Structure 1
Amino acid sequence: MSSIKGKLHYADYLHGEYGDLDSDYMFVNLWGGSYGRPLTYASVYDLVLRLRRDTGIDFDPHWLRHTRATLSSTPTTSPAPTSDYPGRWPST
């Protein structure tokens, strides 16, 4: 399957699963009154801990930002700096 077809299938899946949710955030609340709002840092970290425990895969949420940058690039462009992504947590 070409990557364009794959992206179209993924877009169809997302639309079917989440409807007209319009959010640029990487981690989004999909339940309750905060639907469509960004997850808190604590919620993301809790999710990652559960996924690490359940899958045995050791990863950090920050790695997903770099994966997104890599996947969003094309053969003729460079990945956007992760600091340009909406919803970026400020560094301390």
Structure 2
Amino acid sequence: AGANEAERELDLRTRTHWKRVASIKVGLVLHGGRRVRADARPVVYDLFGPAYGDALGSVDFGTRISEADMPGNLRERERRMFSSTIMLRNPPR
């Protein structure tokens, strides 16, 4: 542990577990330019899957996207969700 706040912050950064990260999951929701869906039923998009959304969607902002929470001009647009897991090049030893 460092002697002052700056040293403790530096120590924390060197001891993090980021070097153990083996993969990254990316989620993306794209939408069209106009309202084209006739149904008014709002859709919920869980970018990292429904289990993650149920467990952490309310605290990990941006991982659960609900059309009901969007402004009216953004609802009822055509949307596509894409998700991919990327394995990092050099896995941990």
TM-score by length of 1: 0.28
Which structure's residues are more often helix, by fraction? 1
Give the structure, 1 or 2, with the largest relative contact order (CA under 8 Å, sep 6 or more): 2
